């Protein structure tokens, strides 16, 4: 099941860089989660990273997008395959910088 950001969001932006799938972005009024990219952090972390950092607790599960653990893991794998990499975005940048040194 993907997560969603509700209207209690205060637009602090803290959650955006924490998402391993780059599923969070700034919307017109509040931050939004692209459910097609949200894996509830399955495959990356034990806990949903956005929920961990959100100061106002405004990221519940999205009842419109119910998925099993297996489906979430498959989604994560597909996202990683799509990026052509199995390393985290920050790791990629670090590795690239080291390579170019
Ligand atoms: Fe991103 Fe994880 Fe939050 Fe989903 S639960 S939006 S994958 S940080
Ligand atoms: Fe909104 Fe919470 Fe993300 Fe801040 S951390 S932008 S309040 S969803």
Chain segment 68-100, per-residue pLDDT in tens? 999 999 999 999 988 754 455 555 455 545 555
Structural domain contains residue 72: yes
Q: What is the pLDDT of residues 13-26, one digit of tens each?
A: 999 999 999 999 99
User: Domain range spanning residue 23?
Assistant: 16-100
Structural domain contains residue 11: no
Identify the pLDDT of residue 81.
86
CATH at 52: 3.30.70.20
Angle at 46 between CA 63 and CA 58, to 5 degrees: 45
If you take atom 8 of ligand 1, which residue's CA is the nearest one? Answer: 19
> Does the Cβ of 33 fall within 6 Å of ligand 2?
no
If you take atom 2 of ligand 1, which residue's CA is the nearest one? Answer: 41
Candidate of 2, 8, 12 to mutate for ligand 2, largest count of ligand atoms within 8 Å of Cβ: 12
Please return the burial class of 82, using the count of CB atoms within 10 Å of its CB with bins 0-12, 13-18 and 19+. Answer: exposed
| Cα(56)–Cα(40) distance, integer angstroms | 18
Q: What is the pLDDT of residues 7-64, one digit of tens each?
A: 999 999 999 999 999 999 999 999 999 999 999 999 999 999 999 999 999 999 999 9
Q: Can you name the residues that pair with 26 across neighbouring β-strands?
A: 31
Structural domain contains residue 2: no
| Locus of tokens 């950001």 | 5
pTM above 0.85, yes or no: no
Question: What's the domain count of the chain?
Answer: 1
Mean pLDDT of the chain: 88
């Amino acid at each position: 099941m993907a997560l969603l950001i509700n209207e209690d969001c205060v637009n602090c932006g803290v959650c955006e860089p924490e998402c391993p799938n780059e599923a969070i972005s700034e919307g017109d009024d509040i931050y939004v989660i692209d459910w097609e990219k949200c894996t509830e952090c399955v495959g990356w972390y034990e806990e949903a990273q956005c929920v961990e950092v959100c100061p106002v607790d405004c990221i519940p599960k999205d009842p419109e997008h119910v998925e099993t653990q297996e489906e979430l893991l498959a989604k994560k794998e597909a996202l990683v395959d799509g990026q052509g990499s199995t390393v985290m975005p920050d790791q990629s940048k670090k590795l690239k910088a080291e390579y170019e040194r």
